[in-house]
Structure 1
């Protein structure tokens, strides 16, 4: 089968408005659920990060309260341990898009720190969008779309409909009043149409080859939609 590229944050913290560093990384469920779906469908996974660093999991994403109980938290942790590709990432700037059938970005607060301003990732996203290949982005990972700026200064995703982590969810998570900026606001300012669903409920938006999800619960249904496009 074909190869799917996972572009994962390399950040292990998120700098808040007061300058403090909140420990973070990628969100476990948002990486694990699509990984398992893609592997079950027979696809090979390659991980890329800024600098080729081994990505850090947000420890909060492994907590029972973030996973509906201890049993599911244990399942996520076991699946993460089996995601061996995370331990040998390539540099995102070295990616040749021609090698991949699809591209996927898991979230967590980490992308707010690095992928939102990473030019290599921005170029990759622009190329992926223009190529027509399936492109999946979930939760906070749409922050990476902010770096997809074309030569004329416009955002490559201007006019696209997306789902992304909402202001309401950031408020309920306790970070809205601590953040330097909010994802929903920044995307809107860039001309991206954020289609807001109910907090914490799966919300997947498909616009051409772009498939986006609002929150962790959206990662599994997003993977289903991405696999449909690969079929």
Structure 2
């Protein structure tokens, strides 16, 4: 089995037609990566355009930062590879990866859903026996992905992601271009959900998804349990 995991992050800095800032929700990358550090798996970072990844300023509040996340954020290698110089999709050889993991932050709602290059990478990893994972808004990267037979990857699968109630509670219902929960259901997924802002992750075969910013460690632990660490 390949000993690398590919982490996907957004390049989007603000909500469309708005000065309201967004970007990567830091913990959804950092918490997952910190779990990987306890394993044999190395991590690479990719974004739709490559290069700079903005961090959602709200995710930097003390409320959302644990000590491990802050420590990783201050690490020069993480700052360089995860935030300043992410790889481009064309830099990726899918054969090198055992899994792909889509992080969230509202920015992904614009640059994940219809990115053909990322979809191709995901399907290649999946078809070689690897895992496709996501957390929170990162589910947007899976919603429109289709298998070779034309069916949606998520059709008939138990998945989760940022639920409509959480979108309303976050105050962004009118800012987002679509609702992940609704599109997932429209595309045939068996969408699961728990209480808002409580850690929750589900697995269906080689799809592992988490509901919200509280869930990246749960996704990582399920993935590692399947990979055998």
TM more than 0.5? yes
Deviates more, 1:91-100 or 1:124-133: 124-133
Q: Give how far 1:75 is off.
A: 4.8
Q: Give how far 1:115 is off.
A: 0.7
Q: Give how far 1:65 is off.
A: 3.5
- Note if 1:125 corresponds to 2:122: yes
Structure whose residues are more often helix by fraction: 1
Q: 1:25 is matched with which residue: 4, 23, 26?
A: 23
Give the whole-Å Cα distance in 2 for the aligned partners of 1:134 and 1:105.
11
Partner of 2:14: 13
Indicate if the aligned counterparts of 1:122 and 1:146 stay in contact, CA closer than 8 A.
no
Q: 2:210 is matched with which residue: 200, 213, 228?
A: 213
Give the whole-Å Cα distance in 2 for the aligned partners of 1:66 and 1:212.
20
Please give the residue correspondences for 1:108-147 in structure 2 after superposition, counting only pairs within 5 Å.
Answer: 108-147=105-144
SS of the aligned residue for 1:52 comes to coil
Q: Give how far 1:91 is off.
A: 0.7
SS of the aligned residue for 1:116 comes to coil
Normalising by structure 1, report the TM-score. Answer: 0.89
Partner of 2:156: 159
RMSD of aligned alpha carbons: 1.8
Q: Give how far 1:117 is off.
A: 1.7
- Note if 1:173 corresponds to 2:166: no
Count of aligned residue pairs for this structure pair:
223
Normalising by structure 2, report the TM-score. Answer: 0.90
1:103-161, Cα deviation, whole Å (9 max, x unpaired): 11111111101011211112222223333212221000000112313455432221111
Indicate if the aligned counterparts of 2:27 and 2:64 stay in contact, CA closer than 8 A.
no
Please give the residue correspondences for 1:194-209 in structure 2 after superposition, counting only pairs within 5 Å.
Answer: 194-209=191-206
Deviates more, 1:218-227 or 1:42-51: 42-51
- Note if 1:58 corresponds to 2:56: yes
Structure 1 runs not aligned, ≥5 long? none
Indicate if the aligned counterparts of 2:103 and 2:136 stay in contact, CA closer than 8 A.
yes
Q: Give how far 1:193 is off.
A: 1.7
Alpha-carbon spacing, 1:42–1:158, altered in 2? closer, same or farther (3 Å) = same
